[in-house]
Amino acid sequence: MRELFEATIERLFADIATSHYVLSCEGGEWPAELWAALEESGFALAGVAEDLGGAEATWADMYVLVRAAGRFSVPAPLGESLLANWLLSKAGLEGHAGPLSIAANSVLVIDDERISGIAHAVPWGRSVDAIVAIATTLAEGTPQLVLLQRSTAAQVTQSLNVAGEPRDDLSFSDALVLAQAALPVGLDVDVLAQGGAMLRAGQAAGALHALLDMTAGYARERQQFGKAIGSFQAIQQQLAVFAEQTAAAGIAAEAAFTESDNGLAALTIAAAKISTSEAASVAAGIAHSVHGAIGFTEEYPLHLLTRRLWAWRSEFGSASLWSQRLGQQICSGGSAGYWPLLTSHGQQPLNNSASTPL
């Protein structure tokens, strides 16, 4: 299934998600043509159980979809829809073919199937059909997985990240809940933050590979003093560091997806978010250094990748935040708990993960 996904999604994005198309969508323009193609392919439902209308793909299978979305700077919530539908399916709810998003940072309260509160920095919040969030019941104070129709939001405060992607605040006041269920077994209240961090790690891994290809290609073609700049030792050393960072980030991101089978591998996701965030900083700097002045022009597509890497490295938790959580988890177990923690496939929850704001 993974090979089929990879071949199909690469062709789809190569045909539609061109640099010109991506640039035309910046500022919040909804990519209607691209999403129609994704919806027709059924990719958004890939992780949904077969009896609920999906393909029952694993996160290891879906990694290639998320990585491709990063590689092509896709201006659509494909990753968010994959995660939202996967969670709905795990809770026994039907998947949703239309565009979905997630609210990892929200304060929502349910009272008799009505919800009030605010969901912060929702990716493409202004355009999606619905969002998946965690809300607290007013009576018992227990967390619930909820599906909310975006059009029922009382107010939408629009905002953009540095890549021009929508990150909107949605306020709800006594709005009807479309569906709700208890959190699936094995998942905690931090599931959306963990899942979002995993998505951004996968997207960053794809963007880093695309950025490396672009930068290495430019170094081979750009002539200075009668020869390609890629032949100079200083440039070669920079590209070697770039390649090392990209490889490490790719391995970390794929491990996070592969180990997230029935649940989310919290420990491995934290490591992946740290690795890809640090690689994004180093790689973007080298890419612009090698490209020189042309890398800062709007016409040249370098910025489509670097601005997304700069944005994604801080979304759903920065490297510093995840490093803190990872360190707390390792230290709390002491020397006796270190090896069991490493061999648990990252399934143990991180300490205090829900109390630290993203």
**Residue range 223-274, pLDDT digits in tens:** 989 999 999 999 999 999 999 999 999 999 999 999 998 789 999 999 999 9
Provide mean pLDDT across the span 291-319.
96
**What's the CA gap between 339 and 333, in Å, rounded?**
10
Identify the CA nearest to 183 among candidates 114, 239, 133, 219.
133
Identify the CA nearest to 165 among candidates 4, 304, 1.
304
Look up the pTM and report it: 0.94
Q: Are 307 and 313 in contact (CB under 8 A)?
A: no
Provide mean pLDDT across the span 302-317.
98
Domains observed in the chain: 2-182 (2.40.110.10), 191-342 (1.20.140.10)
Longest dimension (CA), the chain: 75
Token pair of 3, please?
Answer: 């090979």
Q: Give pLDDT, residue 274.
A: 98
Residue 71 pLDDT greater than 80, yes or no: yes
Residue that is written with structure tokens 């929702």 in the block:
122
